[in-house]
Structure 1
Amino acid sequence: MIRAVAFDVGETLIRDDRGWGAWADWLGVNRHTLSALVGAVVAQGRDNADALRLVRPGVDIESERAAMEQAGRGEFLDESDLYPDVRPALAALRDAGIRVVVAGNQTRRTAELLRALDLPVDALATSGEWGVAKPASAFFTHTVELAGVAPGEVLYVGDHPQNDVVPARAAGLRAAHLRRGPLGHLWADSEEARAADWRIGSLAELVDVLRPR
């Protein structure tokens, strides 16, 4: 029985367009160029941050992120960054008696911005706050603690089969692969995505799957 659902953030709850656009502007490269490079490194199974390293070899990403913040061009989120099915789905799951948490590979600043959106969730944390990121097993240990139920009663939802589905299942959680964003679509038919307990195209589908009959 699923008693808690934990959600990834990027391309699960929020669009990544704004963030990548800000990086392109900061590094002085055409937005389409950086977008294409992100797609290329993702297709190669590499970290999407490698796209930044292709644009500027040797770049210190954390230093540049700090410089962006200082220049007033740092991370930013508002309601327009959320996918339209997010609030209704999270609210519906909570109404069904399911604990809803958010746990993704994001910075401390992103955690602050997400909390400011006042999403209908019971708890929220990011890898930047925990000091450990997916696909490390310790990330999912923290996720289970955040969920407050047994691992087998937690469903982790994300778009990245290698970062979300495979390690979540290895840690004893259930997993749902969301066909959303570049990664979600590119790897939708991969062996890793097929290993998910559920494969969905929207969060509304997830609500239908989990809603008590």
Structure 2
Amino acid sequence: MIRAVAFDVGETLISDDRGWGAWADWLAVKRHTLSALVGAVVAQGRDNADALRLVRPGIDIEAERAAMEQAGRGEFLDESDLYPDVRPSLAALQDSGIRVVVAGNQTRRAGELLRALGLPVDALATSGEWGVAKPATEFFARTVDLAEAAPHEVLYVGDHPQNDVLPARECGLRTAHLRRGPLGHLWADSEEAEAADWRLGSLTELVDVVRAQ
């Protein structure tokens, strides 16, 4: 039985378009250029932050992020960044008696912004707040604690097979791969994605899956 559902953030709940666009503008490079570089490094199995390093070799990403905040051009989220199926799907899961949590590789600031959106969730945390990120085992141990259920009663949902599906599965969680965003589409037919308990095209499908358990 699934008692809790835990969600990744980027390209699962929110579109990353705004964030990458802000980086492109800050680094004075065309948005299409940075977008193409993100796709290229992802296809190579590299960290998507490597796209920033290609644009500006030797970049100190945290220092640049702080400078962006200081200049009033830091992280920002509002309702328009959410995928349309997010709010109704999370609410439907809660209405079904499922504990809904959010746990993703995001900054501390992103955690603050997500909470300000007032999503229908029971708990929310980011890697920046925990000091540990996916795919580390400790990240998923903390996710299970946040879910307040046994590992096999927690379903982790994300778009990245290597960061979401495989490590969550190894930690004993159920998994769902979401075909959304660059990573979700690129790796949708990979062996890693096929290892998920469920493969989804939307969060609306997820609600039906959980209710059927």
Q: TM-score scaled by structure 2?
A: 0.99
Q: Pairwise CA RMSD of aligned residues?
A: 0.7
Q: Give the deviation of 1:210 after TM superposition.
A: 1.0
- Residue 109 of structure 2: aligned partner: 109
Q: Name the count of aligned residue pairs.
A: 213
Aligned to 1:122: 122
Per-residue CA deviation, residues 41-94 of structure 1 (Å, 9 max, x unaligned), is 000000000000000000000000000000000000000000000000000000
Letter in 2 for 1:81: D
1:156 is displaced (CA, Å) by 0.2
**What does residue 193 of structure 1 align with?**
193
Pairing 1:92–2:92 present: yes
Partner of 2:142, secondary structure, is: helix
| 2:73 counterpart of 1:80 | no
Return the offset for 1:191: 0.4
What are the residue-to-residue correspondences of 1:170-185 with 2, within 5 Å?
170-185=170-185
1:14 aligns with 2:3: no
Following TM superposition, by how much is the alpha carbon of 1:149 offset from its aligned partner in structure 2, in angstroms? 0.5
SS in 2 for 1:36: helix
The TM-score normalised by the length of structure 1 is 0.99
What's the counterpart of residue 66 of structure 1?
Answer: 66
Deviations 1:183-205 (A, max 9, x none): 00000000000000000000000
1:43 maps to which residue? 43
**Per-residue deviation at 1:211?**
1.4
Q: Which residue type is aligned with residue 129 of structure 2?
A: E
* C-alpha deviation, 1:212, in angstroms: 4.6
Unaligned 5+ runs, structure 1: none
Contact persistence 1:177–1:184 (CA under 8 A): yes
The runs of 4+ residues in structure 1 deviating greater than 3 Å are none
Stretches of structure 2 lacking an aligned partner (at least 5 in a row): none
> Which residue identity lines up with residue 111 of structure 2 in the other structure?
A
**Residue 119 of structure 2 aligns to a residue in which SS?**
coil
Please give the per-residue CA displacement for 1:156-176, whole angstroms capped at 9, x wherever unaligned.
Answer: 000000000000000010000
- How far the C-alpha of 1:15 sits from its partner, in A, is 0.1
Q: How does 1:159-174 map to 2 (within 5 A)?
A: 159-174=159-174
- Report if the CA contact (8 A) 1:96-1:212 is conserved: no
Indicate the residue corresponding to 1:25 in structure 2: 25
Contact 1:90 1:120 in 2 (8 A): yes
Distance 2:212 2:163 in 1: 29
Distance 1:165 1:60 in 2: 29
Deviation for aligned residue 1:14? 0.1
Q: Say if 2:148 is the partner of 1:148.
A: yes
